Amino acid sequence: MTTAAAPPASTRALSPLKVGLFGIGLDTYWPQFPGLEERLHGYVGKVERRLTRPDVEVVNLGLIDTPEKASEAGHAFRRADVDLIFLHVTTYALSSTVLPVVRRAGVPVVILNLQPGAAIDYAGLGALGDRTRMTGEWLAFCSACPVPEIANVFRRAGVSFHQVTGVLEGDPHVWNEVDGWLDAARVAHVMSHNRLGLMGHSYNGMLDISTDTTLQAVTFGTHLQIVELDELAELRRGVGGEDVRAKLAEFAAEFDLQPDCDPAELERAARTSVALDRLVERHHLGSLAYYAHSVPGHENEDVIGSVILGCSLLTARGVPVAGEYEVKNAQAMKIMDTLGVGGSFTEYYALDFDDDVVLMGHDGPGHTRIAQGKTKVRPLAVYHGKVGRGLSVEMSVQHGPVTLLSVVERGSGLMLLVAQGESVPGPILEIGNTNSRYRFPPGARRFVEAWNAQGPAHHCAVGVGNVAERVHKLGALLGIETVQVC
């Protein structure tokens, strides 16, 4: 199965995810138990090596064993502008050597409660014949000891923390969890640096898609940039023939162009696609929500009726484009794409009770990188419910595991709604839209009722693979509720 690429979050270089790491110990132990301090430093080094990857900068402050060092470490993490801290509990340590670090840094903390082995070698320890050496060996294994103390103080201090418990080496659960926290932190980092373009206005009467854009900025850190359809039209007027020919070649490589596509319509779509690229570049956009109706015969009507192919290419390049000015779903699509699983715009199409599947899809752009086969381009005599006519895309999401995500606004806050299911083969509607067949563990009837009960907008984002656990971790880092219906 081919998953979506993970391109840059926007047309500007994004600063790397910065992860803080420190171990803890108690300075009183070092003269009492020779070699213990060096051994624990080695543990922290092993964690650093497991955290290090091309897109992550690890700020390792080593072993913190006094309140004075803790205060200095807090300032160091703050100066380094870390996004997340991993606290490796190597042995017993005082909570006063921990709190100053994380309180000053002010970012979420993942407590790594990791022993150097699955169990103490009881016989080997007893054979040492020296109670001091035996105690030192035990202290190298007692990472679990101070975790309740640390958790107690964190709770009382209002510090957001999470836990990974296991063995330092040879424990897949530990590093799968760590990878999950890194993925979630990366998404939070991208979202907080993302520039979401808003072009046009809401689809008239769709009350569910309205959102408090300030709340989006407060929750995710996203900058919302209003861009004008008039500007897109102006950019399109400046597109030359060479650029159009290059874009037509890109269309031929990316899409399965159906024989009944009018060359004039392909050229119109290519010209608009080049203009969209330039609009995104000019405003450094990492995502876009759009909709416009214009008036019959106006240039803007011609522009808005020719954006589907260009918006599909942008979505495949890591700049998700949501139609119908669905800001919340543009955010959901960006989250899914940053997780590397796609994020295609979708909604209910129908229920197939015979096969117990939910048909889902949408008109407009699709995420071609997660398509089952090559995405078809078909001409439409009418864009249902919208203005104009022209070319549209038709695709199904790759067969296999999928995850649905909705950013839901309710009351005064946001929540993440997630479900896992499977994209399955079978007949689809060949109407020039994205559409797929999804099977969910509770069955079609119970799934839609459970999903609807959470009050989402009627759009959501679909990605390939099961990433609900990553979404839960993202919600935890952002301090917002995550609800999973299956």
DSSP 20-70: EEEEE--TTHHHHSTTHHHHHHHHHHHHHHHH-BTTEEEEEEEEE-SHHHH
List the structure tokens of 50.
Answer: 């497991």
List the structure tokens of 382.
Answer: 């009418």
CATH topology of domain 17-191: Rossmann fold (3.40.50)
pLDDT for res 477: 97
Query: H/E element holding 358?
Result: strand 357-362
Which amino acid, residue 240?
G
Angstrom distance (rounded) from CA 209 to CA 12: 29
Those residues of the chain that have pLDDT short of 50 are: 1-11
User: What DSSP string runs through 97-136?
Assistant: GTHHHHHHH-S-EEEEEEESSSS--HHHHHTT--HHHHHH
List the structure tokens of 301.
Answer: 């009507």
Q: How far is CA 52 from its chain centroid? A: 20
**pLDDT digit string (tens) for 34-56?**
999 999 999 999 999 999 988 89
Q: Tell me the CA distances in angstroms from 267 to 91, 239, 248, 279, 428, one per residue in order.
A: 67, 11, 7, 18, 28
pLDDT for res 300: 83
pLDDT for res 81: 96
Kindly list the domain boundaries of the chain, sorted by start residue. Answer: 17-191, 194-484
Angstrom distance (rounded) from CA 92 to CA 106: 23
**Spatial contact of 360 and 349, defined as CB atoms under 8 Å apart:** yes
pLDDT for res 87: 98
Determine what percent of the chain falls in helix, strand and coil, rounding each to the nearest 5. 40, 25, 35
Q: What is the DSSP letter of 395?
A: B
Q: Would you state the CATH architecture of domain 194-484? A: Alpha-Beta Barrel (3.20)
pLDDT for res 124: 84
**Spatial contact of 401 and 465, defined as CB atoms under 8 Å apart:** yes
pLDDT for res 13: 63
pLDDT for res 8: 39
**Spatial contact of 155 and 58, defined as CB atoms under 8 Å apart:** no
Residue partners of 68: CB distance under 8 A and separation at least 6: none
